[in-house]
Structures are given as C-alpha cells and as structure tokens.
Structure 1
Amino acid sequence: MSVIGFIGLGNMGLPMATNLLKANHALKVFDLNPVALETIGKLGATVSAHAIDASQDVDVVITMLPNGSIVESTYLGEHGILQQANREPIYIDCSTIAPESSKRIAEAANRHDLEVVDAPVSGGIMGAREGTLCFIVGGEAGTVGKINPILRAMGKTVIHAGGHGSGQLAKICNNLLAAVLMTGTAEALALGVRNGLSPRILSDVIRNSSGRNFMVERWNPWPGILPDVPSSHDYNGGFQVNLMLKDLGLALDCAQASQASVPLGALARNLFTLHGEADEDNPLSDISSIQKLYYPNPQQN
C-alpha cells in the first residue's frame, strides 16, 4: 500500500482517486471544489487544505488538472509542489497539456533529484469509473516500472510512449482523432434519423460494420442508446467541450510547429467551436453534445 497525494478531483480525477481507495492505497487529496472533497472524504481520503499539504509525506503525487498553466503553476510556481517536496515522491501528471510544459516540469524535477512522468489518460469518464483507463506515459523506463502497480489500480493499460513529453504528444494525437470520430458519429446518426432510421438500429449497424468505433460503442452521442453515458443524462459529466477545444488547440499548435497537415482536426475544432458558441451551457457539456449541432433536439430512443 502506498500513500498517494491526489490533486484535481474533476469528472476524471474523482473516480480515479476512488479506485485508488478501493485498491487500499492511503489518499491525501486537494481540489478547489468542496463537494468533490466531501465526496472523497466520506470514502476514506484525508482532505488537505492546500495542494502542498496533499503533496507532502507521500510516496506518489498524482495531478489531474484542466490545463497547462494550472499544471505549471502547481509544480513550478512560487509555492510549487516540487520545491516543497519533503519525501522525494514520484510525480505523475495525468493532465493533458503541451509536451513542452511536461518537459519543463521534468527539467525542474531533475534539478531537485525528483522523478516525474507525464501520464495522460484515455478512456473517458466511463473508463475512469470502471478502472479501465489507458495511461500513456512519457518519462524514464525505470520510473514507469515503479508506478505501474498504481496506474493499474486506475486502468487496465499502461503504454510507455518514450521520453518526457511523449505521453502528451501521443495523447494529443489520440484526442484529435477522438474529436473527428465523435463529430463523424454524430453526423452519421443525424443523417440516418432525418431519413427515418432508428438511432438505436443505426448504432447497432455501425457497431457491427466498417464504421465501428469507440464513440458509437462506448460514448454514443444519441440519448438513450447507452444508459450510463453523458448523452443519456442531458450531456452532463464526461469530457467537457471546452477541454476538447483546449486539446484540439494543442494538436493544431503541434501540427503548425511540425508543418503537419491536419485538415480533419482543423474541421473538428471548427465544429466544436460552433457548438460551444451556440449555447452558454455547451462549453461545460460533454463532447457528445456535438450531436445537437447536427440534430438540435435528439430524443431518448
């Protein structure tokens, strides 16, 4: 059993932390959301008043934060957790940020003789709840080996992508494709429904045909097809549109820097931007709510 500090209890972080408790790890947690702290506290975690408190006297620190500026501030700021380390824990950043940010954190950790990896996740909120996430890890192979049992308490797959920042780069590429798949799935479902097909039957056809993909199988954007996904709960929970837009921005920045052509990724970002601007609630809705851009009032079916 390890003592783990967990910073960031959002839609993904909270179920991830819960699975660590189920695996009998001791947990010290911090988040700005008092409801999340109360929820995990009732399950047995020790609630900390500050990020620094959660990161001290632990074996491992896990961060799951919304963007690069917050991650860098948490690690490298005036009161950053790297400078306050008192037990040389291993740091695992599961946020999705620019590879360059992860490299800066790794360089700072190296100056303090500390181990750190970037370990963004894939699998969505369903994977976080079920403990079936895929961890895409950038860092030293020895460090990856040390943290493997902890990652497997939250997921079923751990892939070492390479050196520091490689996990982030692979995750950015994956999320670009996920955005394309979600927009394409929503588009196909809307086309079928507008022409008289049942969304449930069409989903079944796609699942068993050449269009088969993760979105139609595990994250279906049409309400009522799958019971435990955001679309069946008014698109609440899950992976927010504004976070997908952040990740698509990272992907397009990477593409520009490397002179790579990503026309489908650029189109997906434009579609999510249009969707986000269509209603003030959309940026905080799950990405599957892009279905409403194609079919404004999808019904439970």
Structure 2
Amino acid sequence: MTTTIAWVGLGLMGNPMSKHMVNAGYKVNGVDIDPVARERAAANGVNIVNNVVEACADASVVFSMLPSGSDVDDVMTSADGVFASSRPGTIIIDCSTIGIAYAKKLHEAASEAGVVFIEAPVSGGTEGARDGTLTFMIGCDKAHATKAKELLSPLGDYLAHVGGPGTGQAAKVVNNLIMAVSVTVNCEATALGERLGLDMKEFFEIAIRSSADNWSFRIWNPAPGVVAEAPASHGYKAGFKTWLLAKDLSLAVEAGREVGARLETAETAYALMSEHSNSGGADMDATSLALHLADKKQAKAA
C-alpha cells in the first residue's frame, strides 16, 4: 500500500525535495500559496491540493519547508493548521530553519496535540535539494530518530540525530553562522579583487588550491562567469535569497546573546547582509552582496 505524505511549501527547496519523495514511491499531497510553485510541483507528480487541511487528511507523515519560524509556527499551530488537521500519532517533519525557540515551542505544542514533531533543518542548498544529497540535523526524542532517518533517506546522504528538542536547530544555527560569514567574506574579497584588477576566474583557480578555499566560494562564487552554475553567472537569480541569509545570521546573533557568546564577525556579516537586503537586494541571491560592496567602494573612492 502506498504511503501518503503531505508536503507544505513547494519553493526552491521544497519543490525538488517533494519530487524525490514522489520518485521514492510515496503519494505526495502538496500545498503552497504560490501558483507557480504549485504548477512546477504538479509537473513532478505531486498531487496539488487547496489547503493544509486537505493535504493532511489522509497523510501519515507531513513535511514542511518554509521560509521562517513564524511561517512554520502559523502553519503548524493555527486552527486549520497541520497539528489540528493531522490524525493522532502523525509524524511531522519540518525541514525549515526556524531557530531554537520556535523548535522547542513546536515540540511542546505537538505533544499537546497528540502528534510527533521532528525538526530536521538541512544544509546543502538548492544543489543538495536537487541532487538528493542534503545533510539533515535531526532534533527529536531518541525513540523517533530511526523513523525520521528512514523517511528522510530519499532526500539526503548524511542524516544526523543531534539530540532532543531544539538541538537540530542549534546545529543548524552554528552551521549557518559559518556558511553565512563565508559567503559575506567571499563577496567582500570578490569586490576587492575586482577593484584591484584581478582576473577573478584565474584567482578562483588559485583560491581553491590554497588557504582561501571554502565550499561557498567553489559552489556559489560571487563573480559572474567564474562558476557556470553559480547564481552570479545567471544575473544573481536567487538560489539563497539575501533576506534569508540575513535571517539565518540573525538567529545566530540571537542565540549568541542568549548564552553570552561574543559573535562580532556574525554581527558584522548580519549588518552587511541586512543593509544589502534593505537597499533592494532582498530577493536576489545572497552573493549579490558583492555588487553592493563594489558600489560602496566606488562611492567612497569618488
């Protein structure tokens, strides 16, 4: 008998991820507010329904992939949300980056509703979602960890049970702190290299063989024409939107303040990403920060 799952959120990450679940033999009921996202998912074999209530009606598992903690909280806990619409014992796996506080709140709310909430934020970007090679950071009671890994296996190649409620998001916050600061300094270095007249394609070959090498520089290089599949080579069409990276940095900054950790590099990166986002770059790929920094340098030079 085919297992039915509900999928809430069919955007840049949710679309390819839900496709993998279809290919793995699941019936997928998908829901999204964006008609373009619904159309693309339908082309992948997802059964598009009108709302969360319909999506959850005959599902034994619910996945969600949404932009923010407030989005996930609303989708899960509203009167017509996932918790209220799911049968007792339903497993609900959220793959979004929502922060530690929201995760703990949702674990508690799920328990009260008689369903199982599993936080499983991801790393690997849209490329990992497309290729089914994501890394998952699973936070849930140990009793549910094996089932969570089984359900997530079509989507990733490293599935880590980090610990109990909140720990998956904690791992994600720390991971994204490193990634986001790397993206920021890559953009700063690109803007500087271009101002100094470097051939950025040749510099790329140097950097990936030297101490400057890092994952985001190789995959999401900020200079146009250096990496063919990078957003910079496609007009900075978003793979990871600037406002989302700023949001992830804000989660790290908030977590640091809560435990008294100094995160001055993260705060600087957050300020730069927020400035770029607020000045028109919000929906561009985060590596478009290089354009913003180049403009600032030119303005100062003038």
TM-score, normalised by the number of residues in structure 1: 0.93
CA shift in 2, pair 1:80/1:277, >3 Å: closer
Output the CA distance in 1 between the equivalents of 2:44 and 2:258: 45
Output the CA distance in 2 between the equivalents of 1:63 and 1:246: 18
| 1:38 has 2:55 as partner | no
Query: What amino acid sits opposite 1:292 in the alignment?
Result: L
Question: CA offsets per residue over residues 134-180 of structure 1, 9 Å max, x none?
Answer: 11111022312112133121111111111111111111111121111
State the match for 2:287 in structure 1.
Answer: 288
State the match for 1:180 in structure 2.
Answer: 181
Residue 113 of structure 1 and its aligned partner are, at CA, apart by 3.1
Cα pair 1:189 1:202 within 8 Å, conserved: no
How many residues are paired up?
Answer: 295
Q: Secondary structure at the match of 1:83?
A: helix
Cα pair 2:88 2:115 within 8 Å, conserved: no
Output the CA distance in 1 between the equivalents of 2:251 and 2:37: 28
Cα pair 2:52 2:80 within 8 Å, conserved: no
Output the CA distance in 2 between the equivalents of 1:100 and 1:108: 12
| Structure 2 runs not aligned, ≥5 long | 297-302
CA shift in 2, pair 1:44/1:9, >3 Å: same
State the match for 1:15 in structure 2.
Answer: 16
Output the CA distance in 2 between the equivalents of 1:129 and 1:179: 21
| Structure 1 runs not aligned, ≥5 long | none
Output the CA distance in 2 between the equivalents of 1:274 and 1:86: 44
Residue 296 of structure 1 and its aligned partner are, at CA, apart by 4.4
Output the CA distance in 1 between the equivalents of 2:277 and 2:87: 43
CA shift in 2, pair 1:43/1:87, >3 Å: farther
Query: What amino acid sits opposite 2:52 in the alignment?
Result: A
Q: Secondary structure at the match of 1:284?
A: coil
Residue 33 of structure 1 and its aligned partner are, at CA, apart by 0.6
Output the CA distance in 2 between the equivalents of 1:3 and 1:269: 40
Residue 59 of structure 1 and its aligned partner are, at CA, apart by 2.1
Cα pair 1:67 1:96 within 8 Å, conserved: yes
Cα pair 1:241 1:276 within 8 Å, conserved: yes
Matches within 5 A, 1:191-202: 191-202=192-203
Output the CA distance in 1 between the equivalents of 2:114 and 2:278: 45
Using the aligned pairs only, state the percent identity: 35
State the match for 2:95 in structure 1.
Answer: 94
State the match for 1:55 in structure 2.
Answer: 56
Output the CA distance in 2 between the equivalents of 1:70 and 1:246: 13
Output the CA distance in 1 between the equivalents of 2:61 and 2:34: 22
Larger mean CA deviation between 109-118 and 288-297 belongs to 288-297
Cα pair 2:92 2:117 within 8 Å, conserved: yes
Question: CA offsets per residue over residues 46-79 of structure 1, 9 Å max, x none?
Answer: 1110012112211210011111112111111122
Output the CA distance in 2 between the equivalents of 1:102 and 1:66: 14
State the match for 1:27 in structure 2.
Answer: 28
Residue 292 of structure 1 and its aligned partner are, at CA, apart by 0.8
Output the CA distance in 2 between the equivalents of 1:291 and 1:22: 38
Cα pair 1:59 1:87 within 8 Å, conserved: no
Cα pair 1:92 1:119 within 8 Å, conserved: yes
Query: What amino acid sits opposite 2:21 in the alignment?
Result: L
State the match for 2:265 in structure 1.
Answer: 264
Output the CA distance in 2 between the equivalents of 1:230 and 1:68: 26
Query: What amino acid sits opposite 1:290 in the alignment?
Result: L
Query: What amino acid sits opposite 1:151 in the alignment?
Result: L
State the match for 2:249 in structure 1.
Answer: 248
State the match for 1:153 in structure 2.
Answer: 154
Tell me which stretches of 4 or more aligned residues in structure 1 moved more than 3 Å.
none
CA shift in 2, pair 1:151/1:232, >3 Å: same
Query: What amino acid sits opposite 1:247 in the alignment?
Result: D
Q: Secondary structure at the match of 2:83?
A: coil
Output the CA distance in 2 between the equivalents of 1:142 and 1:203: 46
